[in-house]
């Protein structure tokens, strides 16, 4: 079923159509949320809220943009709100991230990775995620959509509702800032 038909069926409360939409766009939403939250469990929780929001607001969607664009917008907003609401717990979140990443790496990596290599990979992930988190909000959004979702500049401009030249500027500055922070980290360590 194409997106237009899917939307029409979901408006009629067709659960099968809703399930089809969830399966089709699940990875898109979870990956977008993960790009901001850097934690699979949190990303899945927020992704769940995204689809609940979609189901509740389906009648309000005017179809002026693509369904995927609308999903990206809701995912970005929900993720940003989640980060803001949980800022006071960010220290505990970062501990969870460290332990969860360690556990995830141990499950996925083959046996020949030494503990030293596992530790290095954890440090690498922490350093790049921290560098991304430190970016100004619009740069972070543009960079995350560009890097995690491989969206084109045009698609990013539609999601963020800004001009193409603004997207180019945001991506350029985000790369420059990210590079600056990472090089500082590498030289220090």
Of the candidates 1, 98, 128, 162, which one interacts with another protein according to CB under 8 A? 128
Distance between CA atoms of 150 and 171, rounded to whole angstroms? 12
Of the candidates 37, 47, 74, 141, which one interacts with another protein according to CB under 8 A? 47
CB of 180 to another protein, least distance (A): 9
Of the candidates 3, 8, 49, 102, which one interacts with another protein according to CB under 8 A? 49
Nearer to another protein, 58 or 64 (CB): 58
Location of structure tokens 């603004």: 166
Residue among 71, 67, 72 nearest 142 (CA): 72
Note whether 34 binds another protein by CB under 8 A.
yes
Location of structure tokens 């969870």: 96
Nearer to another protein, 64 or 98 (CB): 98
Distance between CA atoms of 36 and 144, rounded to whole angstroms? 7
Q: Euclidean distance between the first and final Cα of the chain, in Å?
A: 52
Distance between CA atoms of 51 and 137, rounded to whole angstroms? 23
Of the candidates 62, 154, 187, 188, which one interacts with another protein according to CB under 8 A? 187
Note whether 11 binds another protein by CB under 8 A.
no
Note whether 88 binds another protein by CB under 8 A.
no
Q: Where are the alpha helices (DSSP H) in 38-160?
A: 40-57, 67-85, 90-108, 115-133, 137-148, 153-160
- From 1-9, 67-75, 154-162, 173-181, span contacting another protein (CB under 8 A): 173-181
Note whether 181 binds another protein by CB under 8 A.
no
Of the candidates 148, 153, 162, 166, which one interacts with another protein according to CB under 8 A? 148
Distance between CA atoms of 25 and 41, rounded to whole angstroms? 17
Note whether 40 binds another protein by CB under 8 A.
yes
């Amino acid at each position: 079923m194409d997106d237009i038909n899917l939307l029409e069926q979901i408006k009629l409360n067709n659960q099968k159509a809703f399930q089809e939409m969830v399966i089709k766009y699940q990875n898109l939403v979870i990956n977008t949320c993960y790009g901001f939250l850097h934690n699979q469990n949190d990303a899945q929780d927020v992704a769940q809220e995204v689809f609940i929001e979609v189901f509740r607001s389906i009648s309000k969607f005017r179809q002026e943009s693509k369904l995927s664009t609308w999903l990206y917008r809701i995912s970005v907003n929900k993720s940003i709100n989640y980060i803001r609401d949980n800022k006071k717990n960010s220290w505990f979140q970062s501990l969870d991230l460290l332990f969860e990443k360690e556990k995830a790496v141990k499950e996925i990596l083959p046996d020949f990775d030494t503990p030293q290599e596992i530790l290095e990979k954890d440090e690498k992930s922490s350093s790049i995620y921290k560098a991304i988190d430190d970016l100004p909000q619009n740069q972070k959004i543009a960079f995350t959509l560009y890097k995690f979702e491989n969206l084109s500049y045009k698609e990013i401009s539609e999601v963020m509702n800004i001009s193409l030249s603004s997207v180019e500027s945001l991506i350029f500055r985000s790369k420059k800032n990210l590079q600056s922070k990472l090089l500082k980290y590498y030289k220090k360590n």
